[in-house]
Structure 1
Amino acid sequence: MYRFRSFALAMLLTCYWAASGLADTPTKVLQPIDVATLKSVVAAEISPDGNWTAYLRSVPRRPMGDADGRSWSELHLLDAQGKSRGFIVGEVNINSVRWTPDSKAITYLAVRNGDKRAALYLIPVDGGESRRVLTHETGIQSYDISVDGRRIAYLAAQPKSADEQAVSEKGFNQEIYEEDQPATRVWLADVDLAATETQTVNGGTMLELTGSASFVQWSPTGRELAVVLAKTPTVDDSYMFKRVHVVDVDSGHIVQSIENPGKLGQVGFSPDGKHLAMISAADINDPHEGRLAVAKVPGDTSAADLMPDYEAHVSAFAWQDNSTLVWVADEREATRLGKVTVDKQVAQMAEPLDVIATSLSLDTAGQKAAVVAHSPRHPAEVVKVTVGDWQMERQTVSNPQLDDVRFAAQEVVRWTARDGQELEGILVKPLNYEPGRRYPLIMVVHGGPESHVPNGWVTSYSSPGQVGAARGFAVFYPNYRGSTGRGVAFSKLGQADAAGKEFDDLIDGVDHLIEMGLVDRQRVGITGGS
């Protein structure tokens, strides 16, 4: 009898622990409605003193509950211990977050409190309400704060002239294609960001610069501005012909022009104002900006590529000191962090990350960084990085419900095209994958072709990813020739060959999955977008 009771007790405990283990195993699968409710971090800015990180979280409207419209954009704040709190939340659209130089307040653009156009607001970190500090009749598009915190340089569309306004009010609404679009101008305004009472400045002084501006930044000296100008505000000029200039603040004149070729990404002064870094195309035929280059200020009329042999695409950078840049690059299906000096010495290169980093913000000391990053298991979140040892710590959890979701295996897959070109892509296997069994395939083709799909979060309203895998599909994202992430030469391989080898790459990728024994050749579908 004693042995029977001992056996019964042992069986009971075994069943209990087995049941407990099952309870800890995720049982849900990702549904389309779940994708429509996912939140994500879209921007993160660390404070100059490194004690805070302000970030923007995209919050979708409730499907079939809220009125139609874009997702809300909330402002949240992380302290040095990683504790997060909502700062401006709810039905709001906050963007272009910046810190004041003293780290005591956050500035942002928003349309609120009766605004007709986007205005500049400031909110103290230690409490208090937002106050509007700058407005403009056509709305503020972007801005930068001078180092002393007393002046704002900003971009806004040029207003209509008195004659244009008069005929418009009389009902004249003729549009001339690519000629009626107003140019974006650079404006300067004196704003006391340290004031404790609401003091709104209505508009500033326009600089008489030829062309349409897309970027402005103060030099740390306060005497110059970096301004990016294109001849016109048309799409073609904004893609292909943006050029970097240095403008003297007192005279309003261009004192240095840098002939960066082709497409242009991020631009930024060094802390001493003696260099301008930029993410540029290698030449006019380069499909995508991705070369980290530097020009001396004053003097240089071109920028020198700091890592000409690096077969990747730099996506973001920040100055660590007067001569060193920290950078993020897309390298094949991963991302990598590293450091390089203005004399082209690669000071450090971290191992490829376990997450896909898409932005970088560095404190003044150059030791703490905030990046926005996603992974195969979660959309974009804030990740804290220690510069040097590259230790990473996830700071936010925007979608705790994903802890209860079963995820299919996701991996990098490699194949050889018919002409011998080595290619890669992302494969999401069916959720309940069984070796030896063949499955239907959804191939998702990215647009561009100057883009690529990294090994991160690949599920969205137009990309089946984990939703397709949960329904028994294999989902394949080929990074065919012409994609980014593998340097300039690879990204040019698809040029002058429309629907040629790029298309063959897709077919060869599908054939590879069939040869692996994974895919049923009679059940292959294709989707994608440009």
Structure 2
Amino acid sequence: MLTKSRPLDGISGFYRAHKAELLSLALLLPLAGVSLSVNSTPRDHQITIDDFFGLSTMTQSQISPNGKQSVWVESRWDEALDKAQTELWHIDNNSRKTTRLTFSDENESSPVWSPDNRYIYFIAKIGEKDPLHPYQGIAQVYRIAATGGQPQVITRTVTGVNAFELNRSGDNIYYSTTKEITDKDQFAALRAEHGKVNYAHGKKTTHPIYRLNLQHFNQELLLDDDKVVWQFSVNDNETKIARITTTDNELIFLEGRSHIEVFDIKQGTNTSLADEQWRGKAPSPYGWLLGLDWHQDNQRLAFRIDFDGYPGQLFVANTAKQAHIIPVTPPNQVTYFGDNLHWRGDSNDICYRGAYKARVKLYCTEMNGSTQGKSRAVIEGDLVIGSYSFTDSGKQVAVSHDGLDHVSDLFIADADSPRAQLKRLTHINPQIDSWKLPQISIVKWQAADGTQVEGILELPFGYTKAQGKLPLVVQLHGGPTAATPYALQHRSYGRSTFSANGWALFSPNYRGSVGYGDKFLTDLIGREHDIEVQDILAGVDKLISDGLVDAEKMAVMGWSNGGYLTNALISTTDRFKAASSGAGVFDQRLEWMLEDTPGHVINFMQGLPWEQAEAYTKASSLTHANKITTPTLIHIGENDERVPLGHGQGLYRALNHYLNVPVELIVYPGEGHGLSKYQHRKTKMLWDQKWFEHYVLGKE
């Protein structure tokens, strides 16, 4: 298959971002199937907020075609630049010698190996904008030797490269760029004449696809049909281009109005795949298409669709037979996770990440013609896998993986073995070896209706029950179609920070979370602000009854859907002494009106606002705001399109001007749904810490 880049703004970023008793509180639980070195460094460092900014994060890891080398994108916070900065890193898989390849102040991404294992192609914006060189300072494809050196610019497009693929022989690059289109309707001239105001529509950015020959550097426009292209993939014999397309850039078009099209390069013809299975027969009309990958037979195309609130689906289409589209069923209780699909080498295995009980594993399913064969986890154990890639043969796999005593490291394994063992290659955060790590365990309890629910519990380093009850922070994941993972995390949303300061931190995987079966996921539909709130409170009661938590010293926090649930909890109960609501929905009608993916609201409310008025009322914390007495800290981005600023302002108005509840509203200038600035992240973490210490622990 062609080696492909990931788009600079991958659509996966739009998504809503994981035994009968309390398990052993051992400092480190073993990871089955993982080979790790023994740590002899004394654990004497108390984790701090500043340690968060010293962590490196590994993404987009790629093993070389012959399996002897790997490359990855490493992200680090840079205080001077006030942002996270990414660079390319390389490792020799045998000697484990690592080398930093790039050193610019710009972000490198989307690494792809050349077939001869000598070069790495990637996307970057290098240099300042220059009228004499209009391609500088704009995203281009670059090439750098695996041994290091000066990157060479490969493309020279004045509008920038969005994504690219390198063909199997390494002599052609396919890439998409941008072109602005102005609508030619009856009011186009009037909009152009009065162009100093903003219009809701009238212009869009489309994505032509080019082919660049790397031997002669001849460039050819292959496809320009005024479509918005969210992702594309070229088959191995370079006869077909598959695309996920919409007619407009607005994100709402991706929800249920996106298509998979197959373009025949030689014939110049374009065909849309019949979409009855993932549209007409789908659990929701608001599905997101994602994840294209061609089999080496050049005919079969794998792709996915995701939904808010419903389990995602995976399909294999035989493009030589228009009606031949096969749904792939995942293993029991596994939820498809992410958009990185890969056929494994020359095999018939389609491989994907799947969420399973707070883990994220790599699964492969054998597809023999129109028949689904066996599915298997490629590597067993308590894994939280990020990116992964196979060698050309498919016999070796490299995965980035978070464990209980490390974050974001690269491992390799034999992908053919039924009992594959992970071999650790990198150690990109050696400082963690000295950290006093939280004791991470899984707690299970029964919900009010008898359903078993799980959550992740962090307790302070060295803590025992004999030391007494702990204050509690309940930290709630976003989505809600997501889950808190069973792995070490140091996050600006609470994990590691609070347990290091003597708190218990509890992250429930409430109803609606992935990895616990389809029913567990869909139980939340039509019951937001109700069933998941009861799940969370039942989990808190479990910790109290186990004698771990002081019921008089509890706080709650979350971001995105976690912020929504924070609002829901404080408008349901007065048990929490403090709250931190981050980017949280306050009113469901306002959310439908203003957010960029309204299908999310429609799915959970089971209809539009005028169809399900009572549902929108019940699921809005605004309706229950008069019950709020909890001192609340509100965080929100000024330019958040997912949970717009009005939600934070409305919650602040209710608490400050009408209910006389202690409240602080923090609006982060220029930020969207997540906080991208160094200082903004630190501001949030410090405010959360001081707010909880004051209102829960009584500190000045």
Bin of the TM-score, shorter chain as denominator length: 0.7 to 0.9
Name the stretch that deviates more: 316-325 or 452-461: 316-325
Per the TM alignment, residue 90 of structure 1 is displaced from its structure 2 partner at its CA by 5.1
The one of 479, 485, 496 equivalent to 1:448 is 479
Matched, 1:149 2:170: yes
Q: Which amino acid aligns with 1:145?
A: L
Name the stretch that deviates more: 32-41 or 342-351: 342-351
The one of 360, 366, 372 equivalent to 2:388 is 360
Structure (1 or 2) with the greater strand fraction: 1
Q: Which residue of 1 aligns with 2:350?
A: 325
Name the stretch that deviates more: 421-430 or 120-129: 120-129
**SS at structure 2 position matched to 1:159:** strand
Q: Which residue of 1 aligns with 2:691?
A: none
For the Cα contact (< 8 Å) 1:48–1:364, is it kept in 2?
yes
Q: Which residue of 1 aligns with 2:146?
A: 125
Q: Which residue of 2 aligns with 1:307?
A: 329
Per the TM alignment, residue 385 of structure 1 is displaced from its structure 2 partner at its CA by 2.0
Q: Which residue of 2 aligns with 1:425?
A: 455
Query: What percentage of residue pairs aligned between the two structures are identical?
Result: 22
Per the TM alignment, residue 439 of structure 1 is displaced from its structure 2 partner at its CA by 0.8
The separation in 1 between residues aligned to 2:470 and 2:324, in whole angstroms, is: 53
Q: How does 1:492-507 map to 2 (within 5 A)?
A: 492-507=522-537
Q: Which amino acid aligns with 1:413?
A: V
- TM-score (norm. length: structure 2): 0.66
Q: Which residue of 1 aligns with 2:289?
A: 264
Q: Note the alpha carbon deviations across 1:173-216, whole angstroms, 9 max, x for none.
A: 32222x25523313113231x57xxx6x7x75262335311111
Per the TM alignment, residue 35 of structure 1 is displaced from its structure 2 partner at its CA by 0.7
Q: Which residue of 1 aligns with 2:364?
A: 339
For the Cα contact (< 8 Å) 2:311–2:521, is it kept in 1?
no
The one of 55, 63, 73 equivalent to 1:56 is 73
**SS at structure 1 position matched to 2:465:** coil
Q: Note the alpha carbon deviations across 1:417-461, whole angstroms, 9 max, x for none.
A: 111111111100133422152111101111221111110133212
Per the TM alignment, residue 298 of structure 1 is displaced from its structure 2 partner at its CA by 1.6
The separation in 2 between residues aligned to 1:492 and 1:355, in whole angstroms, is: 25
Matched, 1:273 2:273: no
Per the TM alignment, residue 299 of structure 1 is displaced from its structure 2 partner at its CA by 1.5
**SS at structure 1 position matched to 2:519:** helix
The separation in 2 between residues aligned to 1:302 and 1:439, in whole angstroms, is: 58
Name the stretch that deviates more: 333-342 or 223-232: 333-342
- TM-score (norm. length: structure 1): 0.86
The separation in 1 between residues aligned to 2:387 and 2:312, in whole angstroms, is: 14
1:425–1:407 Cα change, 3 Å: same
Q: Note the alpha carbon deviations across 1:149-183, whole angstroms, 9 max, x for none.
A: 333322222236699xx999999332222x25523
Q: Which residue of 1 aligns with 2:414?
A: 386
Per the TM alignment, residue 38 of structure 1 is displaced from its structure 2 partner at its CA by 0.8
Q: Which residue of 1 aligns with 2:248?
A: 232
**SS at structure 1 position matched to 2:523:** coil
The separation in 1 between residues aligned to 2:92 and 2:385, in whole angstroms, is: 21
The one of 525, 538, 556 equivalent to 1:508 is 538
1:289–1:236 Cα change, 3 Å: farther
The separation in 1 between residues aligned to 2:311 and 2:236, in whole angstroms, is: 25
The separation in 2 between residues aligned to 1:215 and 1:237, in whole angstroms, is: 14
1:517–1:353 Cα change, 3 Å: same
The separation in 1 between residues aligned to 2:479 and 2:318, in whole angstroms, is: 33
Q: Which residue of 2 aligns with 1:13?
A: none
Q: Which residue of 2 aligns with 1:17?
A: none
The structure whose RCO (Cα within 8 Å, separation 6+) is larger is: 2
Q: Note the alpha carbon deviations across 1:25-82, whole angstroms, 9 max, x for none.
A: 31111100111221111110112222221111102103xxx132x2111111112313
Q: How does 1:69-88 map to 2 (within 5 A)?
A: 70-81=83-94, 82-88=96-102
Q: How does 1:23-42 map to 2 (within 5 A)?
A: 24-42=41-59
Q: Which amino acid aligns with 1:264?
A: L
1:124–1:432 Cα change, 3 Å: closer
For the Cα contact (< 8 Å) 2:396–2:416, is it kept in 1?
no
For the Cα contact (< 8 Å) 1:208–1:252, is it kept in 2?
no
Matched, 1:521 2:551: yes
Per the TM alignment, residue 302 of structure 1 is displaced from its structure 2 partner at its CA by 6.5
The separation in 1 between residues aligned to 2:451 and 2:304, in whole angstroms, is: 28
Task: Tell me the C-alpha RMSD between the 2 structures.
Answer: 2.8
The one of 45, 54, 59 equivalent to 2:62 is 45
The one of 85, 88, 96 equivalent to 2:110 is 96
Per the TM alignment, residue 220 of structure 1 is displaced from its structure 2 partner at its CA by 0.7
The separation in 2 between residues aligned to 1:387 and 1:71, in whole angstroms, is: 33
Q: Note the alpha carbon deviations across 1:449-476, whole angstroms, 9 max, x for none.
A: 1111110133212x22222111110001
The separation in 2 between residues aligned to 1:37 and 1:220, in whole angstroms, is: 41
Per the TM alignment, residue 388 of structure 1 is displaced from its structure 2 partner at its CA by 2.5
Matched, 1:434 2:464: yes
The separation in 2 between residues aligned to 1:375 and 1:514, in whole angstroms, is: 28
The separation in 2 between residues aligned to 1:242 and 1:125, in whole angstroms, is: 38
Q: Note the alpha carbon deviations across 1:494-516, whole angstroms, 9 max, x for none.
A: 11122111111111111111111
For the Cα contact (< 8 Å) 1:276–1:295, is it kept in 2?
yes
Q: Which amino acid aligns with 2:406?
A: H
Q: Which residue of 2 aligns with 1:406?
A: 436
Q: Which amino acid aligns with 2:266?
A: D
1:150–1:71 Cα change, 3 Å: same
Q: Which residue of 2 aligns with 1:255?
A: 271
For the Cα contact (< 8 Å) 1:286–1:491, is it kept in 2?
no
1:370–1:170 Cα change, 3 Å: farther
The one of 369, 373, 387 equivalent to 2:397 is 369
1:301–1:519 Cα change, 3 Å: farther
The separation in 1 between residues aligned to 2:253 and 2:433, in whole angstroms, is: 45
Q: Note the alpha carbon deviations across 1:262-290, whole angstroms, 9 max, x for none.
A: 22332200112121112334xxx663664
Per the TM alignment, residue 300 of structure 1 is displaced from its structure 2 partner at its CA by 3.9
> Aligned residues, how many?
493
Q: Which residue of 1 aligns with 2:678?
A: none
